[in-house]
């Protein structure tokens, strides 16, 4: 697990850190996503590697199956083929509305938060980061992320929904799900399908930076 520094000098400190973040191995981002879901239930290094491997394999297999079935479609076209409604909303950029995309399985609706998209796009433009991260990738990655969650709903035995952690409390063994596996796979699916050279996770970090909820030196989520 490593982040590769780029030799190209940045215009400022943000440029350099963004370049480092874009050079991070996906495992850095995926360990971060798993850690967010742990809630005090720590994973061993072997467990984390196994979950990441399983989630990435699941996402890549799903992407290949979807591409073979529907061909090369834009994310919006793919949503249409899957009979998923795509809507755009303007939500406040504060909790509990701080999200970029959501999927409602009951209504089969993917919601893209336009407020978040515009905030990230403005951040990219204001900081002249267009040569590193394209604004056009923001919505594509969001829609593809939520499409994966929709596909999960139709595959009850899929790894990302069936993967359980075995733990023991006071000698009593129990199992719990791991939502982080689903998030890892959704990110991998969106990256694969969009043909992105960097992790879509960067857009969430841009949003937090733009809102002053993240320090620049914390752009890369060291875990």
Q: What is the pTM of this model?
A: 0.87
C-beta neighbour count of 123 within 10 angstroms: 19
The two three-digit tokens of residue 58, written as one number: 């699941």
Q: Quick: pLDDT tens for 114-153.
A: 999 999 999 999 999 999 999 999 999 999 999 999 999 9
pLDDT under 50: residue ranges of the chain: 1-2, 4-10, 168-170, 174-175
**Residue ranges per structural domain of the chain:** 15-217
Spatial separation of the C-alpha atoms in residues 172 and 167, rounded to whole Å: 8
Residues 6+ apart with CB under 8 A from 129: 14, 15, 18, 123
């Amino acid at each position: 697990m490593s982040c590769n520094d780029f030799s190209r000098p940045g215009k400022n400190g943000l440029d350099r850190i963004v370049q480092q973040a874009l050079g991070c191995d996906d495992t850095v981002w995926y360990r971060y996503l798993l850690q967010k879901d742990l809630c005090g239930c720590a994973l061993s290094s072997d467990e984390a590697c196994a979950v990441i491997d399983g989630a990435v394999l699941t996402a890549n297999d799903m992407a290949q199956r979807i591409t073979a079935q529907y061909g090369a479609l834009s994310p919006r076209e793919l949503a249409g083929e899957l009979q998923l409604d795509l809507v755009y909303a303007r939500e406040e950029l504060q909790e509990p509305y701080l999200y970029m995309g959501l999927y409602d399985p009951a209504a089969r609706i993917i919601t893209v938060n336009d407020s978040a998209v515009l905030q990230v796009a403005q951040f990219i433009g204001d900081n002249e980061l267009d040569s590193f991260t394209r604004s056009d990738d923001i919505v594509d990655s969001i829609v593809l992320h939520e499409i994966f969650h929709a596909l999960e709903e139709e595959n009850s035995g899929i790894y990302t929904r069936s993967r359980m952690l075995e733990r023991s409390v006071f000698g009593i063994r129990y199992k719990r799900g791991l939502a982080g596996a689903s998030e890892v796979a959704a990110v991998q699916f969106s990256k694969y399908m969009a043909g992105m050279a960097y992790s879509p996770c960067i857009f969430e970090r841009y949003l937090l930076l733009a809102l002053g909820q993240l320090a620049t030196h914390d752009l890369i989520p060291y875990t």
